[in-house]
């Protein structure tokens, strides 16, 4: 399938599909329309979930320094 055909199927122009393929800025809506049409939404979600799990586990491993209590003497 070429850019024009994909664009027609998802309701976008060929230039938008070209920009997406070349890593240029496109709207999130355009990106998700293409991903949905190509059945890649679940793959993207899996990557996002994996990255978030990694961030969460890294954050929970860090321990905070015990806070020092301050005197109330002025």
Q: Residue 33 domain-assigned?
A: yes
Q: Residue 74 domain-assigned?
A: no
Residue 41 sits in which domain range? 3-54
Report yes or no on whether pTM surpasses 0.85: no
Q: Residue 39 domain-assigned?
A: yes
How many Cα atoms within 13 Å fall on the side-chain side of residue 16?
18
Q: What percent of the chain has pLDDT over 70?
A: 85
pLDDT given for residue 71 in this prediction: 76
> The tokens of 51 are what?
């990255």
Domain count, the chain: 1
Compute the average pLDDT of residues 11-34.
Answer: 96
* Residue 40: strand, helix, or coil: coil
Q: Residue 72 domain-assigned?
A: no
Q: Residue 71 domain-assigned?
A: no
Q: Residue 70 domain-assigned?
A: no
Q: Residue 62 domain-assigned?
A: no
User: How many whole angstroms from its chain centre is CA 2?
Assistant: 25
Compute the average pLDDT of residues 28-48.
Answer: 94
Q: Residue 31 domain-assigned?
A: yes
Q: Check pLDDT > 60 for residue 43.
A: yes
């Amino acid at each position: 399938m070429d850019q024009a055909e994909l664009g027609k199927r998802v309701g976008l122009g060929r230039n938008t599909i070209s920009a997406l393929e070349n890593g240029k800025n496109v709207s999130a809506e355009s990106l998700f329309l293409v991903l949905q049409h190509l059945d890649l939404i679940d793959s993207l979600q899996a990557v996002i979930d994996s990255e978030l799990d990694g961030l969460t586990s890294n954050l929970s491993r860090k321990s905070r320094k015990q806070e020092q209590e301050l005197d109330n003497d002025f």
